[in-house]
Chain A
Amino acid sequence: MTTSAPPRHDSAPTPAPRRGAADGGRVARGAFDPRLLLASLPAALRKLHPRTMLASPVMFVVEVGSVLTTALACADPGDWFGWTIAAWLWATVLFANLAEAVAEGRGRAQAASLRRARTDTVARRLTGDGHAERVPGTELRVGDLVVCEAGDTVPGDGDVVEGVASVDESAITGESAPVIRESGGDRSAVTGGTRVLSDRIVVRVTTRPGETFLDRMISLVEGASRQKTPNEIALGILLASLTIVFLLVVVTLQPFAVYAGAEQSTIVLTALLVCLIPTTIGALLSAIGIAGMDRLVQRNVLATSGRAVEAAGDVTTLLLDKTGTITYGDRQAAAFLPAPGVGVDELATAAQLSSLADETPEGRSVVALATGAYGRRVRTRDGLGDADFVPFTAQTRMSGVDTGGRRVRKGAVSAVTGWVTEQGGTVPSAVLGAVERISADGGTPLLVADGPCVLGVVHLKDVVKEGIAERFAQLRAMGIRTVMITGDNARTAKAIAAEAGVDDFLAEATPEDKMALIRREQAGGRLVAMTGDGTNDAPALAQADVGVAMNTGTSAAKEAGNMVDLDSDPTKLIDIVRIGKQLLITRGALTTFSLANDIAKYFAIIPAMFAVAHPGLDRLNVMALSSPESAILSAVIFNALIIVALVPLALRGVGYRPLGADRMLRRNLAIYGVGGLVAPFVGIKLIDLLLSSLPGIG
């Protein structure tokens, strides 16, 4: 029927509601489970190795401090204060390691479930003479041809070169509905570890064993290939330089203190140092990064690098394909326009009858419109008795029914016009006018005829997804421009762009146009994100700063992008941007919190250190802490416990709402800046109250 779309045979995942993340199918849940802390303890202990610790200079300093205080406590075994400080410093290091281990642990759980799919397979490799020999999957080389039949596991990543098959990809996507893979076109890629359910295909292997998509996924979610992202490195430098400043502060404090007649023990100075250096963010920095990647995985998106996630937060231009992202994948019937002298009900009924044999989405939408908005009675094929149905084919581009002497047809304008003319009828000029109007507006007109008599026109059009305009408005508030990419002509594109509320559109887009658009945006300093699935999308995916390949796409597309969406849902680009931003905000918020904490710690520790020599300084003891030892200990304990308290936040990411920059900054400053200022005053006081109630202290 439709003039434009080729017949569709694939039920390939028009990925309806998101699974996996939503129902917890494949991956571990996002929520933080306290039991994970215990389970991660061994890993956290292993991370105490100084070489591992060096990756975080801040925590390395804490570890050195722990060793130092422990040594000093050993030298004076009766000093309960020294022992307690040493113990809490070790706890601080351990908590930091725990945070990282927990974050990694969640990735490992996901990797384990992926690894189950990577069983050792036996491949049937085609030899030159057309025979199939059985070889282990690990011996396959790039370019080998392998045969897969129903029940076989695909031995490695590759492209189908021959045949069609339905494939179960649930091992990777968590989606249980099988997908069609066929040679040629954009649905030729198969992934190692997936299972062929029916038919027979010949696959050309495109990756070496151990480097397949599944292998990459596993190493990604495990964090094995994790590298620090640019922003993480920059923040690390700032934290390191703050650590140096505080190291200087503490080291030079001793001569000042000696002059004041209040020489401090090394244990107290170490405690002060650990409280001052930004341990909170230092401890959680890597966990935040790992958790950011993890949140993507939970939404069934795999990023090849943390860098890409970070770039997602910076994206300023979003290229969105019209079909499937902004509009539903198919055109849908929107109105019936009767010919002169024909009742609209009569047209609706005829359209409905003639579409019963049209199983395409367009055909179904005609039936739905007739029974819905036009209130026709529900009819089924069986209910029509001995009617003779004419199914839709790509050749006739018509469907219809012959029943009780009536011959009703519905289909493409040219096809139905030809059919009517054959029977001596003509198309009324009013109908032709309607046809032209619809075409001009970017819609697709279908004619409905009863014998030689044209009954009217069905108006098919793109239907913009519900709520999409609001999402674009949110994106705009976040400073992100949306550009709709479509093959439609400019007029159609304009109409849809206006309805969906995108900022711009690219009509009659060719891959070259897309590429040029990306280059243009990037030349202006903008970061571009896009989705794509076809091989001809590959260059653009590679050029874009964030290129999300659909899992249903070709392996070329998947190679070119820096993310793969296992659900093949193009709207997920918006989620990806959100996760990128959330990652950056979490980092900034915890850094601010960490620094703001120091103010309260000074008010606890400085009076404790110097009030004896300078009684006036006791006026700084605004928290009225019970004793100098208790004050210092309370600050150290707070410093350690706040890490654990913030682990869930680091893993989950701070709450994020799409707001303009100013409002977002004001909100986060209020929560994490002011909160960071106030929280330790309360926390340290509470710990002090607790400590002073213990016998022997306070």
Chain B
Amino acid sequence: MSPVLADVLQVTALVVALVLAHRPLGDYMAAVYTSPRHLRAERWIYRAIGADPDAEMRWTAYLRGVLAFSFAGVLLLYAMTRLQDLLPLSLGFAPIPPDQAFNTAVSFVTNTNWQSYSGEAAMGHLVQAGGLAVQNFVSAAVGMAVAVAFVRGFVRFRTGGIGNFWADLVRGTVRILLPLSLVFAVVLVALGVIQNFSDGQTVQTVTGATQHLPGGPVASQEVIKELGTNGGGFYNANSAHPFENPDGISNLLEIFLLMLIPSALPRTFGRMVGSLRQGHAIVGAMAVIWLAGVVAVTVVEHQAPGAASQLAGGGMEGKEQRFGVGASSLFAVSTTMTSTGAVNAFHDSFQGLSGGVLIFGMVLGEVAPGGVGSGLYGMLIMAVIAVFLAGLMVGRTPEYLGKKIGTREIKLAASAILVTPALVLIGTGLAMALPDGERAMTNIGPHGFSEVLYAYASAANNNGSAFAGLGANTEFFNTSLGIAMLLGRFLPMVLVLALAGSLAEQRRVPETAGTLHTHKPLFTGLLVASTVVVAGLTFFPALSLGPLAEGLAA
């Protein structure tokens, strides 16, 4: 089979699987978030935390819930990593230093999972499974809750309430993430991913040296790492490690898992707003951008220059032999565009232009299809902006899904799309202006700059993958990237929830023949164009000095 055919078949298989899952999962999630019933287990949780799951919250109350819950999560993780040596199952690892503990706590609570440590060499089993993995679930559930609350803003009329945060949080975890994780963890184990509580085994290598192979509850963490678009691997090598990702089939399954919920949420959205075609328009825009990225990176990687690359059928430096160019490219684009940040190859070793596509995928704001929840609300914010620009051109003041996009709405939406570009640019600018940036690079020239740009793009957009070359475990990077993650996660959430509140209070604007149709291919095209142009205009100069300078030099 030619490599091209293999790549095409692989992408096709993935798309078919996602399309098949789209409808049942999307509908199921809509039912979960709109159902008036509570499971018994959920009632116990509500009773334990003292929450009334049926109380409608205004956006401010909802936001307080999000922030309080997340802040508590940061504190808990910080404490656990700082006091690791006192906890059971620590495997004898030392406490994590303060700046790294802060960075790690923020990283997992913000669904970023940037790791400035080596998982298997720094974290004990309790911290991994009881701290980090728990956040893998709940941070994802928080993202979905905010997205659902935002959708309620469109669905509801003349009300202050946008749902109940505790109910959304618990349901997302109990009814969506846990069951899916359970099923797919078993599948992963069946495919060869390890799952144990051993402290590893020492083996004799072929050359006669001894090597320690750390073990642990990998499969259970692997599944939520992908499913919750977290990306924080058990091992430092992440999904390139054979214990996390043994072969091509598990690789494809992991890509499927990380795309699963983000690509099904638009269906949930369509179901909730009462027009499935509205959801199709959104997922269509996501798909177009994602597919373009996959094609671009795969083509560039296959055409990597140099005799060695040509013989290998593409740039194989930094890629696993068992995956090859196609599966690595597919994984790389999917992980950067879903805010997952898991990696099965060294992004640092990708061709210059490919690196540019990966960075671009993140600075789009993680919307194609983006993180769980954050992808949907990010894309909907872009839709609001696109409606505002184009809506005027049909001769009416802009409206989306029966809601007017007025001064207040545009103020919030414009601020929301301002946040992450500002964080990426300021962070990168600061790192480059101070000596810290250059000191941490392992490469020189434009590639070194790409490493820094990639780090801030990844942190601010809550992706979590790294260009790897950057030695980012310094006080400067741990702190500044931590701040970028925090602001990049919660500022947009504040604005999105405020927007939800503002929309929910509006009355419905009835649809007429003069209304801009937001469920048609034309709008999908417009949404793609707005997303790409806005991010493109913002990052073109930076990208030109990094990936473009490198890629075009050849």
Residues of A whose CB lies within 8 Å of any CB of B are: 230-231, 233-235, 237-238, 240-242, 244-246, 248-260, 272, 276, 310, 313-314, 316, 476-481, 524-526, 580-582, 584-585, 587-589, 591-592, 595-596, 598-599, 602, 606, 610, 613-617, 619-620, 656, 660-662, 664-666, 668-669, 672-673
In the complex, chain A residues whose CB is within 8 Å of the CB of B507: 525
State whether A616 and B533 are in contact (beta carbons under 8 Å apart), knowing that A237-B414, A581-B396 are contacts in the complex: no
Best-surrounded residue of B385, B526, B549 (most CB of chain A within 10 A): B549
CB distance from B443 to the nearest CB of A (A): 12
**Which residue among A234, A238, A258, A580 has the maximum number of chain B CB atoms within 10 Å of its CB?**
A234
| 16 pairs from A and B in contact (CB 8 Å cutoff) | A235-B392, A237-B414, A238-B414, A242-B414, A245-B422, A248-B426, A255-B430, A255-B433, A256-B541, A478-B395, A480-B512, A526-B510, A584-B397, A602-B537, A614-B545, A664-B393
Q: A245-B538, A617-B548 are in contact. Are A660 and B433 (CB under 8 A)?
A: no
Minimum Cβ distance to chain A for residue B225 (Å): 32
B residues engaging A (CB < 8 A)?
A: 385, 388-398, 402, 405-407, 409-411, 414-415, 417-418, 421-422, 425-426, 428-430, 432-433, 437-438, 446, 449, 507-510, 512-517, 520, 522, 526, 529, 533, 536-542, 544-545, 548-554
Other 10 A-B pairs with CB < 8 A, given A242-B414, A479-B512, A591-B389? A234-B409, A251-B429, A254-B429, A256-B542, A526-B510, A588-B392, A596-B533, A617-B548, A617-B552, A662-B522
Q: Is the CB of A255 within 8 A of B432?
A: yes
In the complex, A302 Cα to B429 Cα: how many Å? Answer: 53
A238 to B418 CA separation, bound complex (whole angstroms): 10
Given the complex, which residues of A lie within 8 Å of B538, measured CB to CB?
Answer: 245-246, 249
> How many Å lie between the Cα of A250 and that of B397 in the bound state?
32
Contact B393 A665 (CB under 8 A): yes
- Among candidates A253, A480, A619, residue contacting B552 with C-beta atoms closer than 8 Å: A619
Using Cβ atoms and an 8 Å threshold, which residues of chain B touch A662?
517, 520, 522
A482, chain B: closest CB distance, angstroms: 12
- Using Cβ atoms and an 8 Å threshold, which residues of chain B touch A233? 407
Counting chain A CB atoms within 10 Å of each CB, the highest count among B428, B513, B551 belongs to: B513
* Nearest chain A CB to B404 CB, angstrom units: 9
Asked whether B549 lies within 8 Å of A617 as measured between CB atoms, the reply is: yes
**Bound complex: CA of A666 vs CA of B516, how far in Å?**
11
Interface centre among B392, B520, B529 (most CB of A within 10 A): B392
Q: Are B397 and A316 in contact (CB under 8 A)?
A: no
The answer to whether A606 and B396 touch across the interface, beta carbons within 8 angstroms, is no
**Would you call B397 and A248 a contact (CB within 8 A)?**
no
Q: A477-B513, A525-B508, A662-B522 are in contact. Are A253 and B541 (CB under 8 A)?
A: yes
Which residues from A are CB-within-8-Å of B391?
588
| Docked CA distance A242–B535 (Å) | 11
> When A480-B512, A660-B514 are in contact, do A669 and B414 touch as well, CB less than 8 Å?
no
Decide: A588 and B554 in contact? CB cutoff 8 A: no
The CA of A424 and the CA of B373, in the complex, are separated in Å by: 92
A341 to chain B, nearest CB (A): 55
Q: Are B510 and A584 in contact (CB under 8 A)?
A: no
Do A230 and B407 touch (CB < 8 A)?
Answer: yes
Say yes or no: A669 contacts B542, CB within 8 Å.
Answer: no
Of all chain A residues, the one with the shortest Cβ separation from B530 is: A595
B542→A253 contact, CB < 8 A: yes
CA separation between A249 and B533, bound complex, in Å?
14
Q: Are B425 and A248 in contact (CB under 8 A)?
A: yes
* A606–B432 CB distance below 8 A: no
- Given A249, A250, A481, A669, which contacts B390 in the complex, CB threshold below 8 Å? A669
Flag if B515 contacts A479 (CB, 8 Å): yes
Query: How far is A582 from B410 in the complex, measured between Cα atoms in Å?
Result: 21
Distance A242 CA – B538 CA, assembled complex (angstroms): 9
Q: Which chain A residues border B539 with CB–CB below 8 Å?
A: 249
Smallest CB–CB gap between A539 and chain B, Å?
Answer: 22
Q: Look across to chain B and name the residue whose beta carbon is closest to the beta carbon of A476.
A: B513
Instruction: Determine which residue in B398, B405, B514, B540 has the highest number of CB atoms from chain A within 10 A of its CB, and name it.
Output: B514
Min CB distance, A262 to chain B, in Å? Answer: 8
Write out the residue numbers on chain A whose beta carbons fall within 8 Å of the beta carbon of B517: 661-662
| B421, B510, B541 interface centre (most CB from chain A within 10 Å) | B541
CA distance A480 to B411 in the complex (A): 29
Check B414 against A591 for contact (C-beta < 8 Å): no
* B526 and A669 contacting across the interface, CB-CB below 8 Å: yes
- A616 & B553 in contact (Cβ 8 Å cutoff): yes
Nearest chain A residue, comparing its CB with the CB of B388: A238
Interchain nearest-CB distance for B60 vs A (Å): 22
Most buried by B among A272, A276, A584, A595: A584
Contact of B393 among A237, A588, A620 (CB under 8 A): A588
Given A234-B405, A234-B407, A585-B392, A260 and B545 contact (CB-CB distance below 8 Å)? yes
Q: Decide if A614 touches B446 in the complex (CB within 8 Å).
A: yes
Q: Which 5 A-B pairs give the minimum distances between C-beta atoms?
A: A479-B514, A588-B392, A479-B512, A581-B395, A252-B429
**A316 / chain B contacts, CB cutoff of 8 Å:** 510, 512, 514
CA distance A253 to B544 in the complex (A): 11
Assembled-state Cα–Cα distance A481/B393 (Å): 20
Tell me which of B417, B430, B512, B522 contacts A666 (CB under 8 A).
Answer: B522
Which of these, B425, B428, B540, B550, contacts A606 with CB under 8 Å? Answer: B540
Does B446 lie within 8 Å of A260, measured CB to CB?
yes
When the two chains form their complex, are residues B418 and A259 in contact, meaning their CB atoms are under 8 A apart? no
- CB contacts (< 8 Å) of B449 on chain A: these are 256, 259-260
Q: Which residues of B contact A610 (CB under 8 A)?
A: 544-545, 549
CB < 8 Å neighbour of B397 from A231, A249, A276, A669: A231
- Partner among A242, A313, A476, A526 whose Cβ is within 8 Å of the Cβ of B396: A313
Residues on the B chain within 8 Å of A580, using CB? 395
| A584 in contact with B414 (CB, 8 Å) | no
How far is the CB of A454 from the nearest CB of chain B, in Å?
52
Beyond A525-B509, A595-B389, A665-B390, whether A582 also contacts B533 by CB under 8 A is no
Would you call B537 and A599 a contact (CB within 8 A)?
yes
Q: What residues on B are CB-neighbors of A591 within 8 Å?
A: 389, 392
Cα-based distance from A253 to B429 in the complex (angstroms): 7
Q: What's the nearest-Cβ distance from chain A to residue B156, in Å? A: 14
Shortest A518–chain B CB gap in Å is 15
Nearest CB of B to A63, in Å: 22
* A245 to B426 Cα, complex, angstroms: 11
Question: Which residue of the partner chain B has the closest CB to A240?
Answer: B414
Tell me whether A592 and B393 are in contact in the complex, defined as CB-CB below 8 angstroms, given that A257-B545, A665-B516 are known contacts.
yes
A664 vs B402: C-alpha distance in the bound complex, in angstroms? 19
Name the distance in Å between B540's Cβ and chain A's nearest Cβ: 5
Cβ contact of A249, chosen from B385, B395, B541, B552, cutoff 8 A: B541
Q: Establish whether residues A672 and B520, one from each chain, have CB atoms under 8 Å apart when the complex forms.
A: no
B422 close to A584 (CB less than 8 A): no
Q: List residues of chain A with CB within 8 A of the CB of B430.
A: 255
Bound-complex Cα distance A592 to B449 (A): 32
With A and B bound together, what is the CA distance between A556 and B390 in angstroms?
Answer: 39
Complex Cα–Cα for A466 and B510 (A) = 31
- A residues within 8 A CB of B393? 585, 588-589, 592, 664-665, 668-669, 672
Instruction: Return B374 CB to nearest CB of chain A, in Å.
Output: 20
Contact B549 A252 (CB under 8 A): no
When the two chains form their complex, are residues A234 and B513 in contact, meaning their CB atoms are under 8 A apart? no
CB pair A252–B425 under 8 Å, yes or no, is yes
Inter-chain CA distance A313–B429, complex, in Å, is 45
Max chain A Cβ within 10 angstroms of own Cβ: one of B421, B425, B508: B425
**List of A residues within 8 angstroms of B529 by Cβ:** 673
Q: Which listed residue (B389, B421, B545) contacts A248, Cβ 8 A?
A: B421
Across the interface, do A661 and B516 meet the contact criterion of CB distance under 8 Å?
yes
Contact residues in A for B537 (Cβ distance below 8 Å):
246, 249, 276, 595, 598-599, 602
When distances are taken between beta carbons in the complex, the residues of chain B under 8 Å from A260 are 446, 449, 545, 549
Asked whether, in the complex, the Cβ of B418 is within 8 Å of the Cβ of A241, the reply is: yes
| Neighbouring B residues of A256 by C-beta, 8 Å | 428-429, 432, 449, 541-542, 545
- Measured in the bound complex, the distance between the Cα atoms of B338 and A151 in whole Å is 80
Query: What CA separation (Å) do A672 and B389 show in the bound complex?
Result: 12
* Chain B residue contacts of A250, Cβ below 8 A: 541
CB distance from B158 to the nearest CB of A (A): 10
